[in-house]
Amino acid sequence: MHYLFNGFYRLAPVRTLQIKTYIRRMSTIREIEIPVPWGHIAGRESGPADGRPLLMLHGWLDNCGTYEAIQTHLPPTYRCVNIDLPGHGRSSHLPPGPMIGSAIALGTYVVRMVRDHYGWSRFSIMGHSMGSGVGVLYAACFPEDVASLTILDLVKFITRPVEQHPANAREAVLSYLEVQRKMTTNERPQYTYEALQQRLISVLGGDVDATAADALLARGARRNPDTGLYESTYDLRLRTRTFQSMDFVGWREFASRLRCRLLLVLAEQGGTWISAEEEAEAIQTYRQAVPELRLERLPGGHHVHLTHPERVLPIINEFLTAEPDTAAVTTAAATGRSGL
């Protein structure tokens, strides 16, 4: 609690939250572990057990700490299940040896496992960056499951023209073998906590401040008891290329099968992985597919939901509270299947 209190106190003038309210809400956070064949999916849960399920998915090499600033301020009618995707945060890594392939595809499998674990028949998804890509693929594959999809700063994941696929596959093989060598020799650099914090801020292009970095490092770093130094905990295989790529035509086929309400929240200084023309075409694909599309552009960087939640929360909460009554769900979670 000491760390959380300090983290909040530094940002209080910006977030305009009351300390007592914050501490009370934080007490409702529950750590969870969901069993999967290779170990467990870790996460943090909040809200009533019989609330409308909202599955929260983080971005690449992040963890569920990305929602530190907003999770307990979402509508109280929602049961928020905020997970660490495989190989991230405190979730189990896949067994040694196999390549991970596409982290987005793997995440789509995991969403189904989480859905089955809780017994949800219908639920909402919130995704940031890579987590948004997972949400789009799942909602396309299982449109009957998803009531709404909230996308934070990712119009679409990166696709590659088919003529680039052979070169990309070559790079996937080489990068996998290099990562396997590092894993075999345990080559993971270590830093003082302050140096690791500054490294994360630098890698993210100054998109996060020290407090936001702390929120990610709380689950994304560990202290080596022998050296007293810190190292990142993500599975190194997450950094390898995906052998089998998808082109824009393939992505569009998935996106055109969405049938849920859709909220797109884009940061003005956020991710710029696709061209303006591709972004416009992707948004038009969504517009033609879904019954409701809301698009908001906000000042801020790629992690604006973590650094400036007061800009994002009103939009998300308005969208979620407008969920039609027909989106009500049944859940087996109240029977105690939620984990720890």
pLDDT at 24 over 80: no
Task: Let me know: does 66 contact 58? Beta carbons within 8 Å.
Answer: yes
For residue 272, name the pLDDT band (cuts at 50, 70, 90): confident
pLDDT at 41: 98
Alpha-carbon gap, residue 69 to 152, rounded angstroms? 14
Catalytic residue among 46, 129, 132, 148: 129
Does residue 11 carry a pLDDT above 50? no
- Helix H segments across the chain? 2-15, 19-26, 103-118, 130-141, 165-185, 193-203, 210-220, 248-255, 276-289, 304-307, 309-321
Quote the pLDDT of residue 184: 86
Q: What is the pLDDT of residue 52?
A: 98
List residues bridging with 267 in a β-sheet: 298
The most confident of the ranges 10-14, 265-269, 322-326, 335-339 is 265-269
- Cβ neighbours for 61, distance < 8 A, ≥ 6 positions apart: 88, 220, 234, 238, 239
Question: Is pLDDT at 2 greater than 60 in this prediction?
Answer: no
The tokens for 173 are 């093989």
Q: What angle do CA 124, 115, 315 make, to 5 degrees?
A: 15
Half-sphere exposure of 146 (CA within 13 A, CB side): 29
pLDDT of 230 reads 98
Does pLDDT of 241 surpass 70? yes
State mean pLDDT over 74-86: 97
List the structure tokens of 248: 């824009």
Q: Is the dihedral of CA 288, 111, 212, 10 positive or negative?
A: positive
> To 10 degrees, what angle do helices 2-15 and 19-26 make?
130
pLDDT band at 333 (very low <50, low <70, confident <90, very high): very low
What is the rounded average pLDDT for all residues in the chain? Answer: 89
Q: Closest Cα to residue 286, out of 323, 261, 318, 265?
A: 261
- Which of the given ranges, 3-7, 238-242, 248-252, has the highest pLDDT on average? 248-252
Predicted confidence at residue 310, as pLDDT, reads 97
Q: Is 27 a catalytic residue?
A: no
DSSP assignments along 150-161, one per residue: EEES-SS-----
Per-residue pLDDT tens digits for 140-163: 999 999 999 999 999 999 999 999
**Model pLDDT, residue 326:** 53
At 9 the pLDDT is 30
Distance CA 18, CA 23 (A): 9
pLDDT value, residue 308: 97
Share of the chain above pLDDT 90, in %: 80
